A = this chain, B = another copy of it.
Amino acid sequence: MIKLLLVEDDLDLAGNIIDYLELEDMLCDHASNGVAALSLMAEGHYQAIVLDINLPKLDGLQVCARARAIGNDTPIIMLTARDQLSDKVAGFEQGADDYLVKPFAMEELVVRVKALAKRRSGQHTQLSVGPLQLDINQKTALYGSEPLKCSPTAMAILEQLMRAYPHPVNRQSLIASVWGEESPDSNSLKVHMHNLRKALDSVGNATVSFTANVGFQLDVSEEK
């Protein structure tokens, strides 16, 4: 769920944008002037900001500059009716990340917002297989809504299994992708695999099966 701030003084347009973005599953706060925008930015933590340049009280360029000055580096998309190069330059100089000229297609706004929000949050770091979900950035795994308690190594193994799903991963490449060149001398994989299985057992019915001469494979039973 992307959470963003729309700063737009044209209430009709703002309403349209909000409606559209909500269809795209984005949560949208709204400010209609620059001052309000700044205080919302200080409070809410947005993944992106859509900022009109023509605003009462404090125009978009100033808002942008002010935000950057106090260390807020949330991605900002500027909106304006003017298609002047100098405007674009000014916008980017104040620290904007993107620029959109009115009138624009809603689809384009959506695409750009998603691109920016994604870039900021470290791009697509969610893996999911059935009810299993893994966030690589936060190093957290979920089974449904239940957190999966397991060590970093176990999670690395799980990541490989989920990437390969539904195919098996052979032992060699599993070791290679978890440990790199330096694989431990002994039977670490066995132990970590055991821990991972215990963790999976305790939280739901996902298992790791082994087939000789083939490798390990993630199994997620169909019924929840």
Residues of A within 8 A of B (CB): 1, 24-25, 33, 35-36, 38-39, 42-43, 45, 57, 66, 69-72, 123-129, 136, 138-139, 152, 163, 165-168, 211-214
The interface residues of chain B lying within 8 Å CB-to-CB of A136 are 70
**Contact B24 A139, beta carbon cutoff 8 Å:** no
Known: A139-B214, A152-B213. 10 other contacts (CB 8 A): A24-B35, A24-B57, A25-B33, A25-B57, A45-B166, A45-B167, A70-B127, A139-B212, A139-B213, A152-B212
The interface residues of chain B lying within 8 Å CB-to-CB of A24 are 35, 57
**Contact A42 B124, beta carbon cutoff 8 Å:** yes
In this complex, the member of A25, A213, A214 whose beta carbon has the largest number of chain B beta carbons within 10 angstroms is A25
**Contact A168 B138, beta carbon cutoff 8 Å:** yes
- Give Cα A71 to B136, complex, Å: 11
Contact of A124 among B66, B126, B128 (CB under 8 A): B66
**Contact A70 B125, beta carbon cutoff 8 Å:** yes
**Contact A36 B25, beta carbon cutoff 8 Å:** yes
- Give Cα A35 to B123, complex, Å: 12
